[in-house]
Chain A
Amino acid sequence: MSLIVWTTVGILLLAAVLGLVRVMTARDDASVAAVSDLVYFCAVGIFLMIGMASGSVVLLDVASLSALVGILATVSLARILTRGQR
């Protein structure tokens, strides 16, 4: 079980680092917004794996809440991109 958890965490960390490399080389704001979404989902996945390894009981609550609330960050980034206009 710990092999599964750490393999998954390693792949997700690699994905987050690749996204951050993309942020350092990107020139437009839309790429930065997309990469920030990717890093958010990597963080959710890493939390799920660490919680599964430690036997936490709130995992499914956290997953459903992050699914329902995660749209707020993306929509606010979209508002920032258009400088507050719709």
Chain B
Amino acid sequence: MNVVLLVVVGVLCIGGALFVLTSALAMLRARDGLSRINVLSGATGMGIPWMVTGVYVHHVWTHGFDVVDLIKLLVAIAGFIIMSSVASNALGRAAYRSGAPLDPARSTPTEPNDLA
């Protein structure tokens, strides 16, 4: 049982960190600001929620189950997903309106957006 829990915690924590690393590598390869804001969602939508879930599993393993802790976990995961979506939307809109240069090598250039 301990080995199973250890493997679960390890997969969740190291896998979440690998999602963040993938997002950083994609930021190196993306060529304009809007693409970099776009690839950030891999870290915020998958990476950090996995790590928080790993921490929760370890917390239950050592301290026992508690409903309040489960609510804190759900608030954290929902907050990360909703917060990253809303914040990325606001940041992308601001970047577009501030006249950030777009990647000239795109095959289909970004059209002007009515919502921005």
Contacts and interface: CB of A to CB of B under 8 A. Distances in A.
Answer yes or no: are A and B bound together in one complex.
yes
Interface of A: 1, 4-5, 7-8, 11-12, 14-16, 18-19, 21-22, 26-31, 33-35, 37-38, 41-42, 44-45, 48-49, 51-52, 55, 57, 59-61, 63-64, 66-68, 70-71, 74-75, 77-79, 81-83, 85
Given A41-B48, A45-B48, A71-B87, A19 B24 contact: yes
Interface string B22-57: 011101100011101100100110011001100110
A38 B43 contact: yes
B33 A31 contact: yes
Contact of B27 (A35, A45, A51, A68): A35
A44 B48 contact: yes
Contacts of B83: 67-68, 70-71
Contacts of A83: 98
Given A34-B40, A60-B55, A60-B56, A4 B14 contact: yes
Given A67-B83, A75-B90, A77-B91, A48 B36 contact: no
